[in-house]
């Protein structure tokens, strides 16, 4: 089935560094979402994007909806240890449709 | 606030055994769904429901059954467990169709091992 390609698969960074990850697809999505999953928990929605080119922030997190509607990007500035987790992108083709998830980016932050 | 509650947290089964994973939400959400999470594969939709009495298949429905007799509950049944069903299972709900549909609230997961 359709899957989103998420990269990198994992990152090990120093506290204070900025982080960038992306999600690409061969087909168009009209909604892009970013979730974070902490160990032993389910994913939690971080940011939702509804319009091509849209740039949305949530604290130190900024996500962008690619203008081609086939990709999305998530940046985390000045990382801290509690940023550790798996970050998932998800796309939705149209309202009410099921979500398609990427494989996740595992982020590890060294204090 | 309880949100989405899944039980059990962990389960070990032998091949061929059956069991039911429980999911309950107390937010009066219309939409409920089950996902499985496998390393590097993200989350894949098994079954979903848009309201009581209505269910439909997702991306990977084989080997699983669901029912939705009430708004609150959405159990997932494994009829004859297979090792390929070893995974972490998440139940998720959202308020309604449309733009709110993507605002999924996830349970904390059930880690299932089939030997």
Check B106 against A42: CB less than 8 A apart.
yes
Residue B38: phi and psi, rounded to 5, are: -120, 150
pLDDT tens for B31-52 read 999 999 998 778 999 999 989 9
The half-sphere exposure of B25 on its side-chain side, counting CA atoms within 13 A, is 27
Q: How far is CA A57 from the centre of its chain?
A: 12
Residues of chain B with C-beta less than 8 angstroms from the C-beta of A88: 42-43
Residues of chain B with C-beta less than 8 angstroms from the C-beta of A3: 41-42
Is the sign of the CA dihedral B61, B65, B66, B67 positive or negative? positive
Q: From first to last of its 111 residues, what are the pLDDT tens digits of chain A? A: 557 999 999 999 999 999 999 999 999 999 999 999 998 899 999 999 999 999 999 999 999 999 999 999 999 999 999 999 999 999 988 776 788 899 999 999 998
**Rounded distance between C-alpha atoms, residue B8 and residue B4, angstroms:** 13
**Rounded distance between C-alpha atoms, residue B36 and residue B44, angstroms:** 5
Q: Which residues contact B95 (CB under 8 A, 6 or more apart)?
A: B27, B29, B30, B31, B103
Q: How far is A44 from chain B (nearest CA, A)?
A: 7
Residues of chain A with C-beta less than 8 angstroms from the C-beta of B4: 42
Q: So what's the pLDDT on residue B88?
A: 96
Interface test with B, best of A43, A90, A92, A102 (most B CBs within 10 A): A43
pLDDT tens for B69-114 read 999 999 999 999 999 999 999 999 988 755 555 678 999 999 999 9
């Amino acid at each position: 089935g359709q899957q989103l390609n998420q990269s990198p698969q994992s990152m090990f960074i120093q506290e204070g560094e900025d982080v960038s990850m992306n999600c690409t697809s061969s087909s168009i999505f009209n909604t892009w979402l970013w979730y974070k999953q902490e160990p032993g928990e389910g994913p939690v929605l971080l940011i939702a994007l509804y319009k091509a080119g849209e740039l949305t922030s949530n604290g130190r997190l900024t996500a962008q909806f690619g203008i081609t509607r086939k990709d999305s990007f998530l940046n985390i500035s000045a990382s801290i240890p509690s940023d550790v987790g798996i970050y998932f992108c998800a796309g939705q083709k149209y309202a009410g449709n099921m979500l398609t998830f990427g494989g996740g980016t595992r982020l590890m932050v060294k204090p | 606030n309880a949100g989405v509650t899944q039980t059990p947290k962990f389960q070990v089964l032998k091949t061929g055994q059956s069991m039911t994973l429980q999911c309950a939400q107390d937010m009066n959400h219309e939409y409920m769904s089950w996902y499985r999470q496998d390393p590097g594969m993200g989350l894949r939709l098994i079954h979903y429901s848009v309201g009581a009495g209505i269910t439909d298949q997702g991306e990977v429905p084989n080997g699983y059954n669901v029912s939705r007799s009430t708004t609150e509950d959405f159990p997932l049944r494994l009829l004859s467990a297979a090792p390929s069903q070893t995974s972490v299972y998440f139940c998720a709900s959202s308020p309604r169709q449309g733009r709110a549909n993507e605002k999924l609230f996830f349970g904390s997961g059930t880690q299932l091992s089939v030997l």
